[in-house]
Amino acid sequence: MLVLPKGVRHMPGYLSRAVQEALVEDVRRVVQEAPLFVPAMPRTGKEMSVRMTNCGSLGWVTDKERGYRYQPTHPVTGTPWPPIPDVLLQLWRDVSAYPHPPEACLVNFYSPDAKMGLHQDRDEIDFSAPVVSVSLGDDCLFRVGQSTREGGTKSFKLKSGDIVVLGGEGRFCFHGVDRIYPSTSALLKNGGRINLTLRRVTYPG
């Protein structure tokens, strides 16, 4: 049995197929308002392999000039991000154990060759809130470590409908996506994986 770091929860198959299909339609509407863009690493300007967008009052962006940050508008169109879909707000209430709503939902699209290096989510102000992650589409190999890079890591598959929560002692665990397993889900017509990441950014009040 895989033992995950304290504060890291994996809930396999949490979302039914019907809810997943409805979420995909919600994501399509978000992308119509806030088109996918390619984020770039600070300083080097190297493009990431994922394409992304956001919904919520704040969205996470990164570029060579200004680095990692949250802002209320799309970096290309300059328009405000669309609202977070109701089903995701309800999911947050159900699994986050945090009394205030999320402010940002990152939408990452992984093509078959995309990956995400080990990283921590540290660009927020309020670290008492967890990070809630939703997987849609093709399976991926998810890697999670400790709160330092020196700690060991463990890898496991995430399937469509799975939820991962990083909270408490697990809030600063390094995590990433090693690979995508193409054609393992028929949820997305053209394949690939969507990851939705709900975050609280600022202190309430």
The binding site comprises: 60, 68-70, 108-110, 119, 121, 123, 149, 175, 193-199
> For residues 168 and 181, what is the distance between their CA atoms, to the nearest angstrom?
30
> For residues 32 and 20, what is the distance between their CA atoms, to the nearest angstrom?
18
> For residues 167 and 186, what is the distance between their CA atoms, to the nearest angstrom?
31
> For residues 135 and 27, what is the distance between their CA atoms, to the nearest angstrom?
12
Beta bridge partners, 17, equal none
Binding site members for 2-oxoglutarate:
108-110, 193-199
Residue type, 191: G
Query: How far is C-alpha 76 from the geometric centre of its chain's CA atoms?
Result: 20
Binding site members for substrate:
60, 68-70, 123, 149
